Structure 1
């Protein structure tokens, strides 16, 4: 009988004995665990990236809200002290700061929502267990 690997063809799985296949199981499981750990690392990096971007937009919104409070104080002072058109200008600046802060908050929320777009590693492990059991949808 000729060795099938000698002519660069892969051996047929049906020719392998049950003991050989069982012997390969620890290596397969080890590779699966390593792949799931790498997947978890990738997902954590993904979540960290979008959380950082979202936090930066919230920080930007907080800066603009800080200045909006100062402008609101200026509006109150100008409106009470002078009752002249200068307060109207300060009120317009206040509204502009609030609009900018609202836009930054909305953009930041979009980035925070992207954090959970990928399936969790736990879901992947559950799918792998189903595949080992021969239950569910998987590639054969």
Structure 2
């Protein structure tokens, strides 16, 4: 059995524990923001590539119109096919880029911020969640019941039948 610490030892450890908690929460927030920023960067890069290809598309369309007016046969038709292919690639890049930006643009619902708020509420003495939610809502009750020794998860109040 582990030895118990005195009240003085526990009080002496509190500042170190709070400092470690704040550092861990800041690291968690940094990694979450970095992930969102990476997603925004990828989406922006895909949109930039789509913009460059759009410039090529315009040049191909101009070339196709020129060839169509000059020859009205095979060369302009091939230019139109290449333009259609570039248009398809541009549309795919735009859709993927916009999807990545929409997915990562919301910085309001960061889990790290919620965790920091819960920690501040605990330090203030407001409990796990100042909004009145039960702190046990965060736990997986089935996993908790299954891990308890000598109990059957289907039994009530830990009493075996």
Is the TM value for this pair above 0.5?
yes
Confirm whether residue 138 of structure 1 aligns to residue 135 of structure 2. Answer: yes
More helix by share: 1
Which structure has more RCO (C-alpha within 8 Å, separation ≥ 6)?
1
Confirm whether residue 111 of structure 1 aligns to residue 100 of structure 2. Answer: yes
Q: Partners in 2 of 1:73 and 1:101 — Cα distance?
A: 17
Q: Partners in 2 of 1:131 and 1:92 — Cα distance?
A: 64
List runs of 5+ in structure 2 lacking aligned partners. Answer: 140-161
- Within the candidate set 113, 122, 125, 2:116 is matched to 125
List runs of 5+ in structure 1 lacking aligned partners. Answer: 1-8
**CA offsets 1:67-86 (integer angstroms, 9 cap, x no match):** 10111111221233333343
Counting matched residue pairs gives: 129
Counterparts of residues 39-118 of structure 1 (less than 5 Å):
39-115=28-104, 116=106
After superposition, the CA RMSD in angstroms is: 2.8
**TM-score, normalization: structure 1?**
0.72
Confirm whether residue 10 of structure 1 aligns to residue 2 of structure 2. Answer: yes
Query: More deviation in 107-116 or 32-41?
Result: 107-116
**CA offsets 1:94-127 (integer angstroms, 9 cap, x no match):** 1110110111122223333443597253222112
Query: More deviation in 74-83 or 31-40?
Result: 74-83
Alpha-carbon contact 2:119-2:128 (below 8 Å) kept:
no
Alpha-carbon contact 2:42-2:100 (below 8 Å) kept:
yes
